[in-house]
Amino acid sequence: MAGALALAFMVAMSAPVSAQQPSSVNPTAAAVKEQQLLQQLKAIQGRGTIPDVKSYVLEHPVGRDWQQFHNVTLRWIGGIAILGMLAVLLIFYLSRGMVMIKSGRSGRTIVRFNSFERFVHWMTATCFIILAVTGLNVTFGRPLFASTVGSEAFTTWSEWAKYAHNYLSFPFTIGVVLIFLMWIGGNIPNAVDVEWFKRGGGIIGDDHPPAYRFNGGQKAIYWIVVLGGAGVAITGYVLMFPFYGTDIDSMQYAEMIHAVVAMLFVAAMLGHIYIGTLGMEGAFEAMGERAVDINWAK
């Protein structure tokens, strides 16, 4: 790649640059500078003799738009989504507290998830958390702690993080497919869910609307995981195998979709983790210990 770029750069500097826009710069002049070309022509491209035609374009405006998205817009989207969700959860916890089992515990339990279901859940969750941390490192790592830990340590960590992000994508994708298949039966939306949402789901207010195996909120989480998981997986593999049927533009779109879906996905999962732990008495036992209290189930 470096060789190809260097070659293309030399070609670009010596061969005529395609001059779509009128310009006062003579691109073939011996003394012309790269920066001058960029300012006048908005792109630096030329002709080459190697088969990789992408390498004939060294700099172009769309690349700068993408860089602006990656370094500025995306950081705002991610920051607002993730910190905003944490703030909402904190306020909610301070004002509502833990949702308790109204009639107290019965002392008798009922199996909610078998070992296979729990294995798939925790495998996917573990991969998700590592994918989220290592992905967020690509977006926020450099401005947040590269200068604190030093560039050498940051580079070493980022290299390992990148390996983890690539390789854990496979068990994560398998997990999302298994989640889709094993719980689709209980997650088709119906009229009971509409009623459940209208009545605040038992979380907002003190009502206790009925539900089948999964309530409206749990179904929403299921579809966020299935659709969000499919979204990050498809765009993620486009990024992981660059230029297989894609060009620079579609690679840039893939990165933008991947990153935005990932940020919203992380925010949604923070809500899920909250309800499953601090937010509701007895909920963690379903995945932690396989069985829940009968009164919780009711």
- Beta carbon of residue 111, minimum distance to ligand HEM (angstroms, whole number): 29
Three-state SS annotation for 55-67: HHEEECHHHHHHH
**Structure-block tokens of residue 281:** 């008495």
Q: Which listed range, 46-54, 82-90, 131-139, 218-226, lies at the site for ligand HEM (CB under 6 A)?
A: 131-139
Give the separation between CA 272 and CA 276, rounded to whole angstroms.
6
- Give the other-Cβ count within 10 Å of 13's Cβ: 18
- In the chain the beta strands, taken as DSSP E runs, fall at 44-45, 57-59, 109-111, 291-293
- Beta carbon of residue 271, minimum distance to ligand HEM (angstroms, whole number): 14
Residue listed under structure tokens 């889709």 = 180
Judged by CB under 6 A, the residue of 70, 105, 142, 272 near ligand HEM is 70
Q: 242-256: b or e for each residue (b if 16 or more CB lie within 10 Å)?
A: eeeeeeeeebbebbb
Q: 64-99: b or e for each residue (b if 16 or more CB lie within 10 Å)?
A: eebeebbeeebbebbeebbeebeeebeebeeeeeeb
Segment 200-219, which members bind ligand HEM (CB under 6 A)?
none
- Beta carbon of residue 89, minimum distance to ligand HEM (angstroms, whole number): 17
Segment 243-272, which members bind ligand HEM (CB under 6 A)?
255, 258-259, 262, 265-266
Q: Closer CB to ligand HEM, residue 109 or residue 126?
A: 126
Judged by CB under 6 A, the residue of 45, 124, 173, 218 near ligand HEM is 173
Longest dimension (CA), the chain: 87
Judged by CB under 6 A, the residue of 62, 91, 188, 240 near ligand HEM is 240
- Beta carbon of residue 262, minimum distance to ligand HEM (angstroms, whole number): 3
Judged by CB under 6 A, the residue of 135, 202, 216, 217 near ligand HEM is 135
DSSP state of 49: S
- Beta carbon of residue 49, minimum distance to ligand HEM (angstroms, whole number): 30
By the rule CB under 6 A, 146 interacts with ligand HEM: no
With a CB cutoff of 8 Å and minimum separation 6, the contacts of 49 are 11
Q: What are phi and psi of 66, to 5 degrees?
A: -65, -40
By the rule CB under 6 A, 113 interacts with ligand HEM: no
Q: Which listed range, 93-101, 128-136, 185-193, 219-227, lies at the site for ligand HEM (CB under 6 A)?
A: 128-136
Q: What is the CA radius of gyration of the chain?
A: 26
Strand, helix or coil for residue 26: coil
Judged by CB under 6 A, the residue of 41, 58, 232, 292 near ligand HEM is 232
By the rule CB under 6 A, 128 interacts with ligand HEM: yes
Q: Closer CB to ligand HEM, residue 99 or residue 273?
A: 273
Judged by CB under 6 A, the residue of 15, 174, 239, 251 near ligand HEM is 239
Could you tell me which of 297, 295, 298 has the C-alpha nearest to residue 104?
Answer: 295
Identity of the amino acid at 216 = G
> What is the contact surface with ligand HEM in residues (CB under 6 A)?
70, 74, 128, 131-132, 135-136, 138-139, 162, 165, 169, 172-173, 232-233, 236-237, 239-240, 255, 258-259, 262, 265-266
